[in-house]
């Protein structure tokens, strides 16, 4: 292993070599196109797990998505920009090392994990698969960076769910604590609410260790809930669009509400509906990741950015969709259903999110026009909607 000068802050040229892990996914593919359009040299790696999980559970993407190789081909035809695909599993250490050896990335964007809390809570098998895929795959990435590309900067997609919902303000990764007359700055306490979120906590600890002990550079992006599918690049052609999930396992709340509104199903609010989280438009996800790539951490530095732009409760989102849908001539009703999760349905929530703004983030808020476009997209693909997978079936405590 080549030694890292911990005082060094990597300064990239205008174009950098970027390796996107999970580059076929909801966020990975739009990120690949966006960075390629920005002039970066982009490669993606994926084992198509996300597609296979949807097949396993009998769900689908609202939008038709093409095979990765076809997406790559079409994108090059449309723009002249190339995205190099690699197919393999991050659990396979040999595959990981081979990709890192060939690409020699300056920046590694790590989306390559099982992304669903409900999936991780189906049963023991799904919990173990989630932990193994996420934690072991991330460890293989860290070792490949240490041994092959120690100068690279890791941009890791974390989640705001790592923090849980503490009754204090949530800081960005670290908190200053005074205890028995002494002070220290320590990682913010974590209280994850699912086996998926717990796997992300393990990732954060392992990355922090790699930065402290090996001198790697990393930015942990604790992301809120993302909505939407439209970016400049996905709008180029239907053949390069990204997936839109709406089922109870993979679909996020705003996507699910928009689909329910279009099919005439009441918007299903879990419990009291006071669950509050951070949200952001997919456009801002791309913006945040690019800011992290183009403003890398220093050698030995573990940065944590809380990546969201607004906070909403489930009730607030339901009211927005009800009101906007009504303005479009859709009769939208709201229904409270028993919450399948073990979580606080009413709680304090105030999270800091200033570091990305300081780097230049310009947020795109959730406006009525954004919701209108989402509902119009759902209506366009209405014939593809599978109603059965929408209702919540996965319970955190199956004994209840």
- In 176-194, which positions are buried (b, 16+ CB within 10 angstroms) versus exposed (e)? eeeeeeeeeeebbebebbb
Q: Which of 26, 119, 196, 227 is catalytic?
A: 196
DSSP count for the chain of H helices, then E strands: 13, 14
Q: Is 226 helix (H, G, I), strand (E, B) or coil?
A: strand
Active-site residue flag, 355: no
| CA dist., res. 389 & res. 209, Å (int) | 40
Rg (CA), the chain: 21
Q: Which of 31, 59, 149, 159 is catalytic?
A: 159
Say if residue 399 is exposed, middle or buried (CB neighbours under 10 Å; 0-12, 13-18, 19+): exposed
- Collect contacts of 121-128 with beta carbons under 8 A, ≥24 apart: 121/194, 121/195, 121/196, 121/394, 121/395, 121/396, 122/249, 122/394, 127/195
Residues comprising the chain, all counted: 400
Q: Which of 165, 200, 252, 268 is catalytic?
A: 200
Q: Is 337 helix (H, G, I), strand (E, B) or coil?
A: strand
- DSSP class of residue 295 equals S
Active-site residue flag, 183: no
Active-site residue flag, 276: no
Tokens of 109: 């964007």
Tokens of 339: 């919450």
Catalytic residues: 159, 196, 200
């Amino acid at each position: 292993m080549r030694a890292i000068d911990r005082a060094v802050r990597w300064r990239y040229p205008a174009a950098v070599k970027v390796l996107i892990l999970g580059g076929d996914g909801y966020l990975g593919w739009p990120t690949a196109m966006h960075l390629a359009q920005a002039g970066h040299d982009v490669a993606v790696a994926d084992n198509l797990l996300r597609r296979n999980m949807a097949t396993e559970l009998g769900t689908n993407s609202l939008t038709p998505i093409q095979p990765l190789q076809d997406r790559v081909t079409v994108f090059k035809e449309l723009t002249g920009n190339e995205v190099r695909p690699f197919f393999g599993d991050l659990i396979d250490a040999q595959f990981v090392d081979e990709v890192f050896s060939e690409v020699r990335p300056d920046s590694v964007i790590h989306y390559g994990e099982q992304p669903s809390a409900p999936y991780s809570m189906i049963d023991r098998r799904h919990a173990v698969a989630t932990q193994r895929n996420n934690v072991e795959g991330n460890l293989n990435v860290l070792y490949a960076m240490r041994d092959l590309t120690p100068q690279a900067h890791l941009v890791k997609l974390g989640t705001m769910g790592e923090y849980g919902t503490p009754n204090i303000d949530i800081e960005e990764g670290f908190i200053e604590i005074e205890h028995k007359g002494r002070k220290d700055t320590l990682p913010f306490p974590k209280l994850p609410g699912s086996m998926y979120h717990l796997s992300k906590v393990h990732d954060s600890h392992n990355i922090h260790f790699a930065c402290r002990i090996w001198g790697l550079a990393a930015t942990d992006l604790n992301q809120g809930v993302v909505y939407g599918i439209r970016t400049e690049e996905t709008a180029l052609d239907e053949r390069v669009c990204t997936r839109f999930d709406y089922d109870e396992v993979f679909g996020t709340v705003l996507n699910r509400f928009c689909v329910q509104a279009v099919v005439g199903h009441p918007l299903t609010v879990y419990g009291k509906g006071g669950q509050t989280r951070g949200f952001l438009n997919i456009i801002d996800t791309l913006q945040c990741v690019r800011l992290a790539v183009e403003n890398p951490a220093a050698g030995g530095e573990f940065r944590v950015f809380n990546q969201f732009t607004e906070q909403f409760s489930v009730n607030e989102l339901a009211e927005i969709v009800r009101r906007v849908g009504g303005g479009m001539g859709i009769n939208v009703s709201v229904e409270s259903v028993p919450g399948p999760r073990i979580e606080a349905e009413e709680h304090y929530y105030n999270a800091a999110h200033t570091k990305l703004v300081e780097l230049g983030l310009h947020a795109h808020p959730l406006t009525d026009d954004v919701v209108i476009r989402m509902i119009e997209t759902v209506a366009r693909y209405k014939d593809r909607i599978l109603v059965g997978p929408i209702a919540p079936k996965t319970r955190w405590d199956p004994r209840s």
